[in-house]
Amino acid sequence: MGLRLDHLVLTQGSFRLEADWQVPAGARVAVIGPSGAGKSTLLAAISGFLPPVAGRILWDGHDLAKLEPGARPLSILFQDGNLFPHLTVAQNLGLGLSPGLRLTEAQKARVGAVLAEVGLGDKAARKPAALSGGEQSRVALARALLRARPMLLLDEPFAALGPALKAQMLDLVDRIAGQTGATVLMVTHDPEDARRLCPLTVVVADGVAAPPAPTGALLDDPPPLLRAYLRG
């Protein structure tokens, strides 16, 4: 079953993107392509921020069209602004369990456990501004772990991190997705990210999000459009 894009058409102004494919549950898919090709647009549609003009988005056979972003079976991490700056780390995490932030003792304990798991056990009472970029990313990932939704969409949340930190984050994504069995869709500019984490890759270019293909073979022998992008 998993995620299915059924004759999906997205438009924003004169921009148009089509997609018609599916990936099985638990798959890890990199989304790569030139800037402005529509990678973020694709994720925005799946997460419910951009209604399609035609076609359907289905999860396990159920159409997601009627669901608000927060009710969809997914967590999404944006490029920035993944944490509320006025709430503490623990409160930001708590939102993943209860939108009203009324947590039971058991839920509070889970927040603490997850924080410890991402190595931030001592920063629960901090505000995001008092954390480094890498720590902020870990908090956001920890919240995705708490929410444990079937899909995890990553819209380049680690783009601002250095190479070593980014590698750490990808390992953390790997671990979290392994624990929750989540299907991962990750937008990236770096083919190495795709190789590291995602056996499948979707190329977004020229108004089409192509069906997922095995990452290794794709990157070793890229089709012309992707080659132009990768080789500059």
Partner 1 sequence: MAIAGLMAAALAVVFLRAGSPRLGAADWAAVRFSASQAAASALASVLLAVPVARALARRRFAGRGLLIAAMGAPFLLPVVVAVLGLLAIFGRAGLVNAGLAALGLPQIGIYGFHGVVLAHVFLNMPLAVRMILHGWQGVPAERVRLAQSLGLGPWGVFRHIEWPMLRGVVPGALLAVFLICLTSFAVVLILGGGPRATTVELAIWQAVRFDFDLSRAAMLASVQFLLCGAAVLLAARWTAPGVLGGGLDRALSLPAPGGWRRVADVVAIGAAGVFLAWPVAMIGVWGLGGLTSLPQAVWAGAATSIALSLVVALLTGLAVVALASAAARAGVLARLAEAAGMLPMAASSLVLGIGLFLMLHPVMAPSRLALPVTALVNTLMALPFALRLVLPAWREAEATQGRLADSLGLTGLGRLRLAILPRVRRPLGMAVGLAAALAMGDLGVITLFASDQGGTLPLQVWRLMGAYRTDQAEAAALLLTVLSFAVFILFDLWGRCGTEA
Kindly list the residues in this chain that would bind partner 1 in the complex (CB under 8 A): 47-49, 68-71, 75-76, 78, 81-87, 91, 95-96, 99-101, 127-129
The nearest distance, CB 110 to partner 1, in angstroms, is 16
Cβ 85 to partner 1 shortest distance, Å: 3
Residue number with CB closer to partner 1 (9 or 87): 87
Q: Which CB sits closer to partner 1, 68 or 220?
A: 68
Q: How many CB atoms lie within 10 A of CB 87?
A: 15
Q: Give backbone dihedrals phi and psi of 157, rounded to 5 degrees, phi first.
A: -70, -15
String of DSSP letters for 155-167: ESTTTTS-HHHHH
End-to-end alpha carbon distance in the chain: 37
Cβ 113 to partner 1 shortest distance, Å = 20
Both tokens of residue 221?
């022998």
Classify the phi-psi angles of 35: left when phi > 0, otherwise alpha if psi is within -120 to 50, otherwise beta.
Answer: beta
SS3 57: strand
The smaller minimum CB distance to partner 1, of residues 15 and 84, is found at 84
Q: Amino acid identity, residue 40?
A: S
Give min distance, CB of 136 to partner 1, in A: 12
Nearest to 44 by CA among 21, 5, 78: 78
Choice between 8 and 93, CB closer to partner 1: 93
Q: Which is nearer to partner 1, 101 or 113 (CB)?
A: 101
**Alpha carbon distance 50, 16 (integer Å):** 12
Which residue number, 146 or 218, has a Cβ lying nearer to partner 1? 146
> Sign of the CA dihedral 179, 182, 183, 186?
negative
Task: Map residue 202 onto helix, strand or coil.
Answer: strand
> What's the alpha-carbon Rg for the chain, to the nearest Å?
18
**What minimum distance in Å lies between the beta carbon of 79 and partner 1?**
11
Q: CB 53 → partner 1: shortest distance, Å?
A: 19
